[in-house]
Amino acid sequence: MRGTKMPKARSWARRPSMARGPPPVDSISMKQTCSSRVLGACALALTLIAAIPSPVQARRSRVSDAQTYQLFSREQLSRTLVSCAYQFPGGVAFDVNDFAPERRATGLCFDHFAEIYSAQSKTPIVTVERLNRSSIQDAQVEERTNAFFPDPRLKAADRASLDDYRGSGYDRGHNAPAADQASPRGMAQCFSLADMAPQSPKNNRGVWAKVEGDVRKYVLRATGDVFVYTGPLFLNQPVATIGKGRVWVPSHFFKLVYDETSHRSWAYILPNADDSRMSPPVSYESFVRQTGYQFLRGLPMAG
């Protein structure tokens, strides 16, 4: 796959971390406690409770696009990276035109990550997260919704469906992990199938979960922002697919880490298989050679 041509990094205003929200509650108990809370926070929580599809609804594919539209802001519905450029180093978002045309790339913004999505594979090409100690601490109090849904911002022909994964033998593997989401709405958003790729179950719940956890542990020790790039690779030909929608099954997954303060970088590239084992991280140079992606072009790098 063709690498990206990254623009030169420029200075930007640092955005504050998301404030820690209250633990999830049902709509009745929330209404009862609204008098003791900030009115705006209560209104947001009640809106989210009504909008988030339940796991049962999600499994039955009865959640409408109108319902899931409510999870996204007006800016996020625009399918550009303008509203989430702060997720990238220097505030400079990727240009979707730098990706191979056949990937049919689209920019998608979420509350806590940005994504380049491929309508060809019906998976992410890459998700980008700006993490720091505060955001991970906020994420630690959030509860998973486990309510997967087709992303309403994408045409039906360009997106995966719940039926594509059902009975496939693969997990709906997060690229931007649920455990990184620092707010109730962000948690709900990350269960969009646009954030998923078919992942071997033991890989998803074992070695890859360890990779994700190790990155969070590093972020908690870091003194500033850490940028994390995650995505699937399709190195085997022909590419395997699942479902009527022919969602591409990755041969590997990658996770590239860049510490903006120390300028250190490293990457994990692991096979998408149940017997995949943890291997030492590789250098950025090795990552570029193996993937063709130059996500950190123009950024200062430690020697």
Q: Tens-digit pLDDT profile for the chain (303 aa)?
A: 444 444 333 333 333 343 333 333 333 333 333 333 334 444 444 444 454 544 444 444 456 788 899 999 999 999 999 999 999 999 999 999 999 999 999 999 999 999 999 999 999 999 999 999 999 999 999 999 999 999 999 999 999 999 999 999 999 999 999 999 999 999 999 999 999 999 999 999 999 999 999 999 999 999 999 999 999 999 999 999 999 999 999 999 999 999 999 999 999 999 999 999 999 999 999 999 999 999 999 999 996
- On whether residue 157 sits in a domain, the answer given is yes
Phi then psi dihedrals of residue 5, to 5 deg: -105, 100
Asked whether residue 63 is domain-assigned, the answer is no
Rounded CA-CA distance 53/40 in Å is: 22
Q: Quick one: which of 242, 268, 244 has its CA closest to 256?
A: 268
Residues with Cβ < 8 Å from 194, sequence gap 6 or more? 108, 115, 117, 124, 151, 153, 154, 159, 160
Q: What is the pLDDT of residue 62?
A: 52
**What is the C-alpha to C-alpha distance for residues 245 and 154, in angstroms, rounded to an integer?**
14
Query: What pLDDT was estimated at residue 35?
Result: 37
Which spans in 222-303 are helix H? 284-291
* Cα four-point dihedral sign 82, 87, 93, 97: negative
DSSP code, position 244? T
Q: Which domain holds residue 260?
A: 74-291
Residue with tokens 């903006």: 260
d(CA 4, CA 60): 38
Tell me how many degrees the CA angle 189-125-210 measures, rounded to the nearest 5.
70
Q: In this structure, is residue 251 part of a structural domain?
A: yes
The CATH code of the domain that includes 103 is: 3.40.570.10
Contacts for 238 with CB less than 8 Å, ≥ 6 apart: none
- Mention every residue, 6+ apart, whose C-beta is less than 8 A from residue 129: 87, 112, 113, 176, 180, 227, 228, 230
Number of domains within the chain: 1
Residue 90 lies in a domain: yes
Phi, psi of 273 (to 5 degrees): -145, 150
Within a domain: 1:
no
In a domain, 65, yes or no: no
266: helix, coil or strand?
A: strand
Amino acid 250: pLDDT: 98
Question: How many other C-beta atoms can be found within 10 angstroms of the C-beta atom of residue 243?
Answer: 18
Residue 63: the pLDDT is 63
Q: Residue 45: which residues within 8 A CB-CB, separation 6 or more?
A: 21, 22, 25, 30, 184
Domain annotation covers residue 282: yes
Q: Is residue 224 situated within a structural domain?
A: yes
Active site residue 263: no
Phi and psi angles of residue 292, each rounded to the nearest 5 degrees, phi first: 85, -5
Q: Indicate the DSSP class of residue 282.
A: B
Query: What's the pLDDT score for residue 58?
Result: 43
- pLDDT for 67 equals 87
Dihedral angle computed from the Cα positions of residues 256, 259, 262 and 268, in that order, rounded to the nearest 10 degrees = -20
